[in-house]
Structure formats: C-alpha cells, structure tokens
Amino acid sequence: MYDKPVISSSELGDERKKLEKEKGIIIRFVIGHSMTAGGILDKAIEAEEMTYGDFLKLEHVEGHLELSAKTKTYFTTALALWDAEFYVKVDDDIHVNIGTLATILAGRHMSPRVYIGCMKSGPVRAKRGEKYHEPEYWKFGDKYFRHAMGQLYAISKDLTTYISVNQRVLHKYANEDVSLGSWFIGLDVKHVDDRRLCCEMPPDCEWKARICSSVDRIMEFHKNCGEGSRALWNASI
C-alpha cells in the first residue's frame, strides 16, 4: 500500500480555479437535498461546501427513483450557470482522466447536437423486483434502443438547451440513461459511441477516460491508471 497525498482544501480550490480559468473545465459534485430539508445530511453537505466549495446544489429531492428528474434539473441548472460547449455527467464512483475526456470532447466541438458515451443496447427489464426494472417495459419491446451507459456521457450545448426548454414535457423512465436517450429519439442528433468512455480495469486502463467501480479503491486506480497532471494541462482543447 502507499500513503495518500496530503492536499489542503485551499490547494484543491486553487487548482480547480486554475482549471476553470486556463482550460474552461468546470468540475462540481452535483447533489440535491434530503426529504427533510435542513437535516443532518444537508448540514454535512453545507459544512463540506464551506471547506471545499465544489458542490452544485440542485432544487431536487434525492432518491434512487428520482435520477431521471435529477438529470433534467442538473442540465437545466448547469446551462443557466455556465456557457459551455459540452455538459458532462459522471457517476460518483467513477475515476475519470479529465485530460483524456477533454481531448475526446474537443474533437467534436464543431458538431452540433452531439451525444457521446459508451453506447449500449440490452434487454428491457420487465420482471417486477429485478434490478433496473422498467414499469413501462411494454413501450420498448424486447430490447432498448441504443443509448449511452449512465456512468459517464456528454451532450453538446444544443442538446442541453433542448432539455432545459422542454423539461416539463420530457418523459421520465425508471432508468436515467434510458430517459436521456429517449429524449433524443426523433431529433437530428449525432450519436458517438466512443469506447474510451467504456468501463476499463487495470491493467487495460491506459489511455482510457473512465475506470469503473473505483469508489473504494480510488487512490489505487489513480496511481495505476491516472494520466498524470501534464496530460491534463497539455490537453488540446
């Protein structure tokens, strides 16, 4: 094993601000609030926000069955706060090489209405009680349409604007990634299946943007699969 590096909150804040200023990359932990506003969990988040200043707090009640609603609220809120070419969603248990991801997105910045991720299509979960059960399974047939896996994906500003403008009429399915994909069906959207955004594990993680299931081993993954700070600051974006 190895020791974790000791980095102060001020150093982290300075690096984040430098990244925003020099590279135009904004990183936030996105969270709503608990059913009981002002409860213990909300106070803990407020305390951490005072220390690190890296949360984007939404007007949204957290819950596993509310992820599709959270997705709409996130994109709408982020669009109102920041004028970006792409808006990215990453699960909190995913290790991301930011420089690699930025380079991937930079290669698509001239294309409007872009939807980038690790595209998949699989069986619709129709049986009640099974994981990822879809109560409206009858709408899909036996298999889902092709859509990006929910752990990490990016959409261009045009698509983010579409979600923001139409959020009240966009239907929410049980699974957030299915909901997002469904909102783009019928639109003139460029679907980009980039396998660098698919799950990888050591030792096959070099030059990848995403490493999965890293929540309990984040420092180990970063040591073995991290791209290094130079890759981030030298990324052509």
d(Cα 211, Cα 222) in Å, to the nearest integer? 9
Three-class DSSP category at 154: strand
pLDDT bracket for residue 123 (50, 70, 90): very high
pLDDT for position 201: 55
Tell me, yes or no, whether 209 and 138 share the same domain: yes
In this prediction the pTM is: 0.87
24-60 pLDDT, tens per residue?
Answer: 999 999 999 988 878 888 899 999 999 888 999 999 9
User: Is 143 inside a domain boundary?
Assistant: yes
**Distance of alpha carbon 208 from alpha carbon 227, whole angstroms:** 9
Task: Give DSSP secondary structure letters for 89-141.
Answer: EE-TT-EE-HHHHHHHHHTTTTSSSEEEEEEE--B---STTSTT--TTGGGTT
Say if 15 falls within a structural domain.
yes
- Residue 82 pLDDT more than 50? yes
**Residue 156 in contact with residue 112, Cβ under 8 Å?**
yes
135 in the same domain as 99: yes
Give the domain range for residue 212: 86-233
Percent of the chain, pLDDT > 70?
A: 87
Query: Does 205 lie in the same domain as 147?
Result: yes
Pair 140, 216 in one domain: yes
Whether residues 36 and 133 fall in one domain: no
Helix (H/G/I), strand (E/B), else coil: 149? strand
